[in-house]
Amino acid sequence: MADPTYQAQQWERRYDPNIEDVNRLCDSLGALKPGSTVPYIDPVHDVDGCKIVSLFSSPGSSLPSGFVSFENDDPASVRIAEIYESAGLRPEQVMPWNAYPWFLEEGKERALSMDQIADGVKPLLSFLQQVPRASALIAHGADAHKAARRLMKLENRAIYKRGFKIYEVRSTSERAFKGTPANQEIWLKEIHAAYTDAMGRAGIRVRQTI
């Protein structure tokens, strides 16, 4: 978990100009479901600089930091942060989002229902409208794959005009990475390849090591 000083800095910066539009969206989405909240996006990200979106399943039932952040110390966050680092993808060039952006009820952190996936599609579209330079979405895991496919069925003109591309890759969760070290290496390389391809299409220099 991020240290208390870092968390306090995050909170103070949650409405900084580089992330305000996205975090105001999080506020409005939280208001749609009384009793529910949507975690903020870490202000290290940037709405104007974002060219790639990382789509995950959900924030679970809680996030100690209160932010979707790769400074969190859960295995999935650590793993994706290492992938970004190995590819040379900077925080301002990418932004995370969840197929179901609201916190789940305690004990309900399983595969999303089709209703939950459907609930998250319009918020996903609204989010993408806040990051107008994003041209790729990398969907991690089955829930994100389903959400991305539903998104493309909307046939939104703005998305098509961007030449938007969807990549379907493995979840970075601990459960998804249960396997031999050899298999884990293969899975990491597959995810790394998706990010480097997306970076190349967006004109972002790729670090050639993993």
Tens-digit pLDDT profile for residues 93-152: 999 999 999 999 876 567 899 999 999 999 999 999 999 999 999 999 999 999 999 999
pLDDT at residue 210 is higher than 50: no
Entry pTM:
0.94
Q: Which fold has domain 4-202?
A: Uracil-DNA Glycosylase, subunit E (3.40.470)
Domain boundary assignment for the chain: 4-202
Q: Cβ contacts of residue 24 below 8 Å, gap of 6+? A: 15
User: Is 83:172 a contact under the CB 8 Å cutoff?
Assistant: yes
CA–CA dist 19, 30 (Å, integer):
17
Specify the pLDDT at position 136: 96
H helical segments located in the chain: 4-12, 20-32, 75-87, 114-130, 142-153, 157-161, 181-202
Tell me the percentage of the chain whose pLDDT exceeds 90: 73
